[in-house]
Amino acid sequence: LSERLSGVFDRLTKQGALSEDDVKTALREVRVALLEADVSLPVARDFVKAVQEKATGQTVTKSVTPGQQVIKIVHDELVHFLAGDEGDIGALKVDNPPAPILMVGLQGGGKTTTTAKLAKRLQEKNGKRVLMASLDVYRPAAMDQLKVLGDQIGVDTLPIVPGQSPADIAKRAKQQATMGGYDVYMLDTAGRLSIDDALMTEVEEIRNITNPRETLLVVDGLTGQDAVHTAENFDERIGISGVILTRMDGDGRGGAALSMRAVTGKPIKFVGLGEKMDAIEEFHPERIAGRILGMGDIVSLVEKAQETIEAEQAERMMKRFQKGRFNMNDLKMQLEQMLKMGGMEGMMGMMPGMKKMSKQMEGAGIDDKMLKRQIALIQSMTKKERANPQLLQASRKKRIAKGAGLEVSELNKLLKMQRQMADMMKKMGKMGKGGMLKQAMK
């Protein structure tokens, strides 16, 4: 598949803005990739349409083919879409103890296993005291299964009382969690082979009794389309707060994740990666995006595009310097970079010809604190002043220094530095192609 994709993209080598045709051709293949990854047809269609609108007209960066650019946009959108709101992934609402967590889903999806995995995680990672209760009254072995897992991971389970209804057990779990001082209690419900009304009514009743903080739908990531149907049904009847995709250690393509996100709008919070109790992870949108688009090749294509784009930005900046344009915005960027790279040494040390200046600056006592003060000074300038530092006369200087809570003498030092740097940039630029600056920027 990825071979076919790169084939199409190689053929698109026009430069300039992405035309509607460029985008359409590339997206036709993306649509096939999505469908092969088990994304449902309407979701694939909507997604492709959204990307098409976004991509058409975007400028193609030099030395990236339009196809690569489209794929990058597709990839980024996919990650963005799968990620949803920040803070949803891997997070569970477990404040106000005891916080009930309701686990729902079809039979065999991995509810019981995931209940225990999450309980272990909450207990070990978040330091919560957890109580687990099995509400599966239909298969006696199901209750034992949860107890065995609980014993194995050191998490308490609600004592089994034969003959109780799921609603009775839910009430008892709530009571026990309150009296026992638990932070969280988890309700592992019974599943069915397919969605039916009796199941939904039962889960609804449990929900009404416990008023869960989280209602997590556990679905088998290998089931594709069925998983989406399941998610839609549970969300409509019960209202889910998140999804957990199991069996992602298998070779499913993960398209169900995209469809479920699209259909329910609910975040995918965790993925199950095996039968062991530690085999659960926060959901990583980039991994699923890579999987959906066909893995390695696409991802490296995207990385290559990213690198090229960054290199071009650096080149544009260099061209400005060669023309002697080095204003306060440029200086601010350099200062921030220096802060990030561990001060003067890191930044200047890498540029031949700058070593001397770096030493000078050190001699002048430039350190992180000073860098921060200089950045504060630039921040208190207006847009116009930053672009044209020669505008700075006495009254402006006073205002700027005051705004940064510093002395005018410090501002004067900064201005001197900017002039020196601008001079130096110009000289280096004059050395022409292959000059020191160019080498230094590589």
Binding site for ligand GDP (CB under 6 A): 105, 107-113, 191, 246-247, 249, 272-275, 279
Query: Choosing among Mg ion, ligand GDP, none, which partner's interface includes residue 174 (Cβ < 5 to 8 Å by kind)?
Result: none
Query: Per CB under 5 A, which of residues 111..140 are in contact with Mg ion?
Result: 111-112
Strand partners, 281: 271
Which of ligand GDP, Mg ion, none has residue 107 at its interface (CB below 5 to 8 Å by kind)?
A: ligand GDP
Pairing of strands 184-188, 156-157: unpaired
Instruction: Tell me the CA end-to-end span of the chain in Å, nearest whole number.
Output: 35
d(CA 56, CA 81): 19
* 121 is annotated as contributing to ligand binding: no
111 is in an annotated binding site: yes
189 is in an annotated binding site: yes
- Residues that bind Mg ion (rule: CB under 5 A) add up to a total of 3
107 in a labelled binding site: yes
Strand 268-272 versus strand 280-282 pairing type: antiparallel
Instruction: Please tell me whether 249 is known to bind a ligand.
Output: yes
> Is 109 or 242 the residue whose CB approaches ligand GDP more closely?
109
- Backbone conformation region of residue 342, classed left if phi is above 0, alpha if psi is from -120 to 50, else beta: left
For ligand GDP, the closer of residues 117 and 261 by Cβ is: 117
Selection from Mg ion, ligand GDP, none that 294 binds (CB < 5 to 8 A by kind) is: none
SS3 162: coil
CB 261 within 8 A of CB 219: no
Is 110 assigned a ligand-binding role in the annotation?
yes
Q: Write the CB contacts of 40 (distance below 8 Å, at least 6 apart in sequence).
A: 225, 228, 255, 259, 263
Give DSSP secondary structure letters for 293-318.
Answer: HTSHHHHHHHHHHHHHHHHHHHHHHH
- Minimum Å distance from CB 151 to ligand GDP? 16
- Cβ atoms within 10 A of the Cβ of 296, count? 9
Residues forming beta bridges with residue 363, ordered by sequence position: none
| Distance (Å) of CA 357 to CA 332, 340, 421 | 17, 19, 9
Residue (142 or 404) nearer to Mg ion, CB: 142
Rounded to 5°, the CA angle 107-170-217 comes to: 35
364 among annotated binding-site residues: no
Q: How far is CA 407 from the centre of its chain?
A: 43
Based on CB atoms, which residue is closest to ligand GDP, 273 or 392? Answer: 273
Q: Tell me the angle at which helices 2-11 and 20-36 cross, rounded to the nearest 10 degrees.
A: 180
Residue 381: name its binding partner from Mg ion, ligand GDP, none (Cβ under 5 to 8 Å by kind).
none
* Binding residues for Mg ion restricted to 348-407, rule: CB under 5 A: none
Q: Does the annotation place 190 within a ligand binding site? A: yes
Nearer to Mg ion, 142 or 305 (CB): 142
Report the partner that residue 249 touches, choosing among Mg ion, ligand GDP, none (CB closer than 5 to 8 A by kind).
Answer: ligand GDP
Cβ(216)–Cβ(241) below 8 Å: yes
**246 annotated as a binding-site residue:** yes
If the CB atoms of residues 107 and 334 are measured against Mg ion, the closer one turns out to be 107
Which residue's beta carbon is nearest to the bound ligand GDP? 272
Check if the beta carbon of residue 60 is closer than 8 Å to that of residue 66. Answer: yes
For the bound state, the minimum distance from the C-beta of residue 85 to ligand GDP, rounded and expressed in Å, comes to 25
Q: Does 154 show up as a binding residue in the annotation?
A: no
- 189 contributes a contact to Mg ion by CB under 5 A: no
CB nearer to Mg ion: give 149 or 375.
149
Q: Of 56-115, which residues contact Mg ion (CB under 5 A)?
A: 111-112
The answer to whether 46 is annotated as binding is no
Q: Show the site string, 136-175: x = touches Mg ion by CB under 5 A, - = not.
A: ------x---------------------------------
Q: Where are the beta strands (DSSP E) in 45-183?
A: 99-104, 130-134, 156-157
Question: Could you check whether the bond before residue 42 is cis, i.e. omega within 30 degrees of 0?
Answer: no
Which of 75, 91, 39, 48 minimizes the C-alpha distance to 267?
91
Task: Output 275 or 303, the one with its CB closest to ligand GDP.
Answer: 275
Q: Indicate the residue among 107 and 306 with the shorter CB distance to ligand GDP.
A: 107
The least CB distance from residue 247 to Mg ion, in Å, is: 15
Q: Residue 166 binds what, of ligand GDP, Mg ion, none (CB under 5 to 8 Å, by partner type)? A: none
Minimum CB–partner distance for residue 25 and Mg ion (Å):
47
Known binding-site residues equal 105-112, 188-192, 246-249
Q: Which residues belong to the annotated binding site for GTP?
A: 105-112, 188-192, 246-249
Applying CB under 5 A, the residues found at the interface with Mg ion are 111-112, 142
